[in-house]
Structure 1
């Protein structure tokens, strides 16, 4: 090969690499996936994700309340608008005396200074910071414009974005606790009706549920008839975390394991390199169980199933053909500096999060949730008792989790000898 041919071939290879990188960046931007980096030869993967995302986010038709299907863009818009108009109420006038009465009986939890701060209008500075903190290649609207567009055109759009945010309001779900009696049900209904009139926000009865604990069927029937809500059963979910009565059901962990398996099967690993597989485990598959792990102790069965699923995905992906692992799982879970892949074992991560829960109990005694736990399980209001007190018989799964995990902290604590007034000879563990 002549010198001229060598330089020409080198130039063509560099041009090809540049074009391939541009193509990959284009499809990565379309797929809106941030957990994997460009330059890893994942163009087909990004392309497939983009097609699946478009199909999933598209609304082809919608049903109205009468069950009629509408497919035109105008009809879909009209049905959606009418639904939320009916849901949020008609904005009728409110009795002023009734409004003042409601405000007087509500216990003040927020100081005037805090309330003034919360009601202050948004400033351009804080909105700009929020916009520029977002990922540039994420699209917040169906129009397809990414955050990079809003960041680059901030000088033209800043006031439009500010006006939009000032009109935006959000309402969270609420859990009300009460005694299972008809009298209590009538009181709750009256409070909800008054709140609806004062706030002008209608409650969604179709999504409201009643849950009973140790209540006879006859009382349950009466309360459901008074409130006119549906009746549900445990476990329920609040902010995605299961709430249950009694012992922790293994079905909860089976559901989490199945979610992880479904994600691993759906993420077409055939197109991912080994580095891409590792990154997906860290960013996607590990995020599903870790959302639950700060609250509950994983069962041995769940730990084995989750670790096994991650190992299988790392070495085999979505293919059925078995492969021989290049390194064992213990080595893969070591730090990169120590020759590992930087992955984590489920059991150790779970214990670390449980210890963090115990540390929060010690470090934030002013929080309401701590006061509930301290009243029920600790023998005094002193937060350091979490590290000393013996386990409580019949305690909740959350308490048991924090108590069992505290050993990570107590193994590294030293106690200073004092006058003995805080020591409890018969109760300290």
Structure 2
């Protein structure tokens, strides 16, 4: 009897071990085709690409660097004692929780094996069985990243004070620098100004510069503990090497690294600004940017602007060399590029020899965007088309369901061009080519169906113009001021027009301006930022639609609210006398406006598609799509599986291979239904 019980116990133990092994391999295999076969998951993308990606490192080249002592600058913006108290205060539970839950899912764990999900959901017992698979290589443990994320969240609160407006990296509004650079290139070319542009290439080396910014000793020690003294191992081809201690530099993937790097690189802007104040160097386009534009920075994408003056160029070279010594950031002059405008082209070789760099050609790349003083040609979009083609080659489209192909198109293929589409207006030729790639993959080269467009790219391009228009109407940054000075002068946004010779970026904004302004209304401030007749401010419709008889005869149709309110009753003149219907309309208008008063402060454009009055790209896209094509919202918004949605879409489009459709394609078989005597159809 005891032996029988022992056998049963062994069988149960073996069964338990087998079950644990099954769970182990289940978690590794991640076979979730029923649940995730068409979902936008990591499992789906691995299947779609046909293989797991293998990343191997074959060589590592490293140069020894030197650490120089920091130099104090009296005129550097510094952190106040109150801000230091904020930075150095004990971390609260709320801050820790916020930092943890700001981390993305599916990030690789460090050597300790704990991914972000562990810290986010471990404490909920019901979620213990839902760990996703681990990737093999990561530089930082998540437990360490929590502390650096906490520090990042704090330093961002004072970053606007210690980092200049010309440096836009890792602060809100990433596109600001690109807009300023694009408009500067266009202005230099349009007016044939004698100017020089120097695009700097930084070597990927790092150091820290905090005390000169006024940070407290406590904060500096915290940062030092994050950067120095940690044990690090290099993972090469799946094997960890020996652990060693770090002494300098910032880590790839560390949330704190970008803002610290920005703090260091910002010293270059401070040095150049001091030299400009002393007359050693000059800025360009002072009529567009206050005091002239000398430098634009985004991480290691740095562009310097110079007048045509070799002596000032020599001063700039000295400043760059000084910055190298102070910051320990090496500038690769041989990889940098020089661009000359106007008569400066005659001295291009002299500038190139002075800086030890090559002469660049247009378009050049800045933060991933091709920068050109002219409208981009179709050939300048070729790299986007090549990315589409390269990605499509690796996809096993015929092995995927239609829903799976749709997921890849929306989540991967369309995102390849997203950054370009957010800045430049796309031409019809490029649009047709990109839509062709999307349609060909979706229908798997079925030419009979390629005529059904998936759309999307055109609407993505249009909706991305809404955000800069909203910021141009409501905010006052360096790029907004440059655009107003260049195109609007004293006119409101609604008065902007698309004239011959304007920049590519401005053309895109003007194409979308009227549609954008029709989706909101202005709140009255000083009355200078909106038109009295043509912009909505009294309700959701402009006065030209409420009082058409008056608008037809008014002399100055583009007058602003401030212009109209300058005299009593209203500063408005007409080409004809007011009588009958027009007189009644005038009396009604005067009664409506006379009780209004202008206030201090700028006018505010209120977004009309939501209750918060704040612009969102999602609502802009939804508006464009719903007014442009029929998208069957009842189908796509239904909470059913994607394959069922696709089938219902086929039914609505009439593209199912029923016998009536086959007959239209020259099929000669029996057209009757198998269940009734009628011809088969939907």
Q: TM-score, normalised by structure 1?
A: 0.67
Within a 5 Å distance, the mapping from 1:24-423 to structure 2 comes to: 26-27=28-29, 38-40=36-38, 46=46, 49=49, 51-54=51-54, 57-59=55-57, 61-62=58-59, 76=60, 79=61, 82-83=62-63, 86=64, 89-93=65-69, 96=71, 99-100=72-73, 103-104=74-75, 108=77, 112=80, 116=84, 123=91, 126=95, 129-139=98-108, 146-148=115-117, 160-161=144-145, 166-167=226-227, 168=250, 169-170=257-258, 171=261, 172-173=299-300, 174-316=302-444, 322=446, 324-325=448-449, 328-329=452-453, 333=454, 344-364=455-475, 366-380=476-490, 385-412=492-519, 413-414=535-536, 415=542, 418=561, 420-421=563-564
- What is the distance in 2 between the residues matched to 1:120 and 1:236? 42
- What is the distance in 1 between the residues matched to 2:327 and 2:114? 35
- What is the distance in 1 between the residues matched to 2:357 and 2:96? 40
- What is the distance in 1 between the residues matched to 2:46 and 2:507? 44
2:618 equivalent in structure 1 = none
SS in 2 for 1:292: helix
Contact 2:100 2:146 in 1 (8 A): no
SS in 1 for 2:426: coil
- What is the distance in 2 between the residues matched to 1:225 and 1:93? 30
- In structure 2, the CA distance between the partners of 1:163 and 1:247, relative to structure 1 (3 Å rule), is closer
Can you give the 5+ residue segments of structure 1 that lack an aligned partner in the other structure? 1-18, 31-35, 63-75, 334-343
SS in 1 for 2:370: strand
Contact 1:209 1:231 in 2 (8 A): yes
- In structure 2, the CA distance between the partners of 1:235 and 1:45, relative to structure 1 (3 Å rule), is closer
- What is the distance in 2 between the residues matched to 1:37 and 1:206? 53
Contact 2:50 2:396 in 1 (8 A): no
SS in 2 for 1:247: coil
For residue 374 of structure 1, report the CA deviation from its aligned partner.
0.7
> How many residues matched?
347
Structure having the larger proportion of residues in helix: 1
- In structure 2, the CA distance between the partners of 1:162 and 1:255, relative to structure 1 (3 Å rule), is closer
- What is the distance in 1 between the residues matched to 2:121 and 2:356? 51
Q: Which has the larger radius of gyration?
A: 2
- What is the distance in 2 between the residues matched to 1:260 and 1:376? 36
Can you give the 5+ residue segments of structure 2 that lack an aligned partner in the other structure? 1-20, 124-140, 150-225, 228-249, 251-256, 262-298, 520-534, 537-541, 544-559, 566-570, 574-682
For residue 411 of structure 1, report the CA deviation from its aligned partner.
3.8
For residue 40 of structure 1, report the CA deviation from its aligned partner.
4.2
Contact 1:45 1:268 in 2 (8 A): no
Q: TM-score, normalised by structure 2?
A: 0.44
- What is the distance in 1 between the residues matched to 2:325 and 2:56? 36
Q: CA RMSD in A?
A: 4.1
- In structure 2, the CA distance between the partners of 1:131 and 1:230, relative to structure 1 (3 Å rule), is farther
For residue 138 of structure 1, report the CA deviation from its aligned partner.
2.4
For residue 250 of structure 1, report the CA deviation from its aligned partner.
1.8
- What is the distance in 1 between the residues matched to 2:433 and 2:22? 39
Contact 2:50 2:394 in 1 (8 A): no
- What is the distance in 1 between the residues matched to 2:379 and 2:82? 43
For residue 247 of structure 1, report the CA deviation from its aligned partner.
2.8
- In structure 2, the CA distance between the partners of 1:29 and 1:236, relative to structure 1 (3 Å rule), is farther
Contact 1:209 1:232 in 2 (8 A): yes
